[in-house]
């Protein structure tokens, strides 16, 4: 255990980063960072049919969004490269030749259909053990000749019979497999490119990977990789197979249940810190009572022993709680910055707050205080960044949508008159809004001899078109004197 900690996340660029993959990456990252180790990103692009450049970029972007920085890998470089398996073919070649020479790889000429038939028949019999390739015991010389003659074949790993394979797993303890249950898996495709199980074991050794932390679906691949490592006298890394993330229906997380790509959540305005926290909470806990934590706190406590064994349901309610929690605890200035893109995207232009004095200030400078006031006003009312444009629409448009309850408040007896008087009183004030708004409005209620509710409700309705929303004091500031007076008076004319 004196070897330096080196872990890798090894996505294949065949789609966007999956939620499960994101969490696996997060655990790897956390383990590396918590143990002064290296976090390596290795691209498993052995399947030329499905790889895409777009996928790679989207995966990298997703990881950056989550804050998972890698020490070695694409765009980072490193001494153990290349970090694309497609560029490591030379390093696999020696292994392939050795396997053929030593006999633990053999040429299999059976077609996929023939193999499938074998598998089906075996399954039909409900039997233990495995099917055997008809080529398994072919004379090597004959096999070589057939291959030389151009006959298509794959290279299979000759799994020894009667052995026990022990997987030492940091999460599951010791897991035993009988080699008889492990099929002769394809190590090299007919096109000459080695498969995942082959590259993985060689690369993990070549890159001095100390711990393989990956999803539980890989547990059954592990004996294959261990067998190969033994055949080649490679070092076998420590393993940690993390539980799966299940959809809210208890089944494997799928598109049917909801969004499965991290990108979906980025696009929908989820705060990255909330997603990070949420993902870390799925199958891991710091202690018996900590729910909300940042990355530093995670690193201070991260330990493979604290990863649970059972699968975890993707609980959107909890995710939403964390999102709202993070948003309301974000400093207004910071929150304003994060909200800005969503306003832009919706085509909403923040007015400058003090247009008269703006003078030499650039527009964006003078908008800053307005944006911060906006952020602060909505801080406790937002579940996602993307909710802002809708909720704050009344601040940007001259047309105010009046909902039913607001209309009622406007139609209440005396409401119109009250609004008019309010507008007048407001107009008399030297300051807008009045210095002590709360005292001012209370005073007005007293003067007009009505309860606060009688005053506040129609005011709110006239200004925002709804009875909910930010504090009136904030709305006043956000709207500005002119628009406030206009709406107060406009509402009384309307009906």
Partner RNA sequence: GGCCCCAUCGUCUAGUCAGGCCUAGGACACCAGGUUUUCAUCCUGGCGACGGGGGUUCGAAUCCCCCUGGGGUCACCA
Q: Would you please indicate which residues are annotated as catalytic (active-site) residues? A: 255
Contact region for RNA (CB under 7 A) — 170-178, 260-268, 347-355, 358-366? Answer: 170-178
Site for RNA in 243-262 (CB under 7 A): 243-244, 246, 250-252
Contact region for RNA (CB under 7 A) — 31-39, 184-192, 394-402, 418-426? Answer: 184-192
Q: Which of 93, 111, 345, 443 is the binder for RNA (CB under 7 A)?
A: 111
Q: Which of 89, 146, 168, 172 is the binder for RNA (CB under 7 A)?
A: 172
Q: Which residue, 346 or 456, is less far from RNA as judged by CB?
A: 456
**Residue 380 near RNA by CB under 7 A:** yes
**Residue 145 near RNA by CB under 7 A:** no
Sign of the four-CA dihedral 380, 436, 455, 417: negative
Minimum distance from residue 152 beta carbon to RNA (Å): 6
Site for RNA in 50-89 (CB under 7 A): 50
**Residue 136 near RNA by CB under 7 A:** no
Q: Which residue, 37 or 434, is less far from RNA as judged by CB?
A: 434
Site for RNA in 22-41 (CB under 7 A): none
**Residue 481 near RNA by CB under 7 A:** no
**Residue 138 near RNA by CB under 7 A:** no
Q: Which residue, 231 or 409, is less far from RNA as judged by CB?
A: 409
**Residue 115 near RNA by CB under 7 A:** yes
**Residue 359 near RNA by CB under 7 A:** no
Minimum distance from residue 366 beta carbon to RNA (Å): 26
**Residue 358 near RNA by CB under 7 A:** no
**Residue 293 near RNA by CB under 7 A:** no
Q: Which of 18, 35, 183, 229 is the binder for RNA (CB under 7 A)?
A: 183
Q: Which residue, 144 or 151, is less far from RNA as judged by CB?
A: 151
């Amino acid at each position: 255990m004196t070897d330096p900690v080196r872990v890798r996340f090894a996505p294949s660029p065949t789609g966007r980063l999956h939620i499960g993959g994101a969490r696996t990456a997060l655990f790897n990252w956390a383990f590396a960072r918590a143990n002064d180790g290296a976090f390596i990103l290795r691209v498993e692009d052995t399947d030329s049919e499905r790889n895409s450049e777009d996928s790679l970029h989207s995966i990298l972007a997703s990881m950056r969004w989550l804050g998972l920085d890698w020490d070695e890998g694409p765009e980072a470089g490193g001494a153990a490269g290349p970090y694309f398996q497609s560029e490591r073919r030379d390093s696999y070649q020696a292994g392939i030749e050795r396997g053929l020479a030593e006999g633990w790889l053999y040429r299999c000429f059976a077609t996929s259909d023939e193999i499938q038939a074998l598998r089906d028949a075996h399954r039909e019999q409900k039997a233990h053990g495995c099917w055997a390739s008809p080529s398994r015991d072919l004379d090597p010389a004959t096999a070589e000749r057939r291959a030389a003659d151009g006959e298509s074949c794959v290279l299979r790993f000759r799994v020894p019979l009667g052995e026990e394979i022990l997987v030492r797993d940091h999460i599951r303890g010791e897991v035993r497999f009988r080699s008889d249950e492990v099929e002769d898996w394809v190590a090299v495709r007919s096109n000459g490119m080695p498969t995942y199980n082959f590259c993985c074991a060689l690369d993990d050794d070549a890159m001095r990977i100390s711990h393989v932390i990956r999803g539980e679906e890989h547990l059954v691949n592990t004996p294959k990789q261990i067998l190969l490592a033994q055949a080649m006298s490679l070092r076998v890394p420590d393993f940690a197979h993390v539980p799966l993330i299940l959809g809210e229906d208890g089944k494997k997380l799928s598109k049917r249940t909801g969004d499965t790509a991290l990108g979906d959540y980025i696009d929908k305005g989820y705060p990255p810190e909330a997603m990070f926290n949420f993902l870390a909470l799925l199958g891991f806990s710091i202690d018996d009572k900590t729910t909300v934590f940042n990355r530093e706190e995670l690193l201070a406590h991260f330990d493979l022993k604290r990863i649970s064994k059972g699968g975890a349901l993707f609980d959107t309610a909890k995710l939403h709680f964390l999102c709202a929690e993070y948003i309301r605890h974000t400093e207004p200035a910071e929150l304003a910055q994060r909200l800005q893109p969503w306003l832009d995207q919706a085509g909403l232009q923040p007015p400058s707050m003090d247009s008269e004095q703006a003078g030499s200030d650039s527009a964006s400078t003078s908008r800053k205080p307005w944006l911060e006031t906006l952020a602060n006003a909505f801080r406790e009312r937002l579940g996602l960044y993307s909710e802002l444009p809708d909720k704050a629409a009344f601040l940007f448009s001259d047309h105010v949508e009046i909902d039913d309850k607001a209309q009622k408040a406007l139609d209440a007896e005396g409401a119109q008159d009250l609004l008019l008087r309010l507008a007048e009183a407001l107009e008399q004030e030297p300051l807008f809004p009045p210095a002590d708004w709360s005292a001012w409005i209370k005073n007005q209620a007293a003067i007009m001899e009505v309860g606060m509710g009688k005053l506040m409700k129609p005011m709110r309705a006239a200004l925002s078109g709804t009875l909910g929303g930010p504090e009136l004091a904030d709305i006043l500031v956000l709207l500005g004197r002119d628009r406030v007076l206009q709406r107060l008076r406009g509402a009384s004319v309307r009906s």
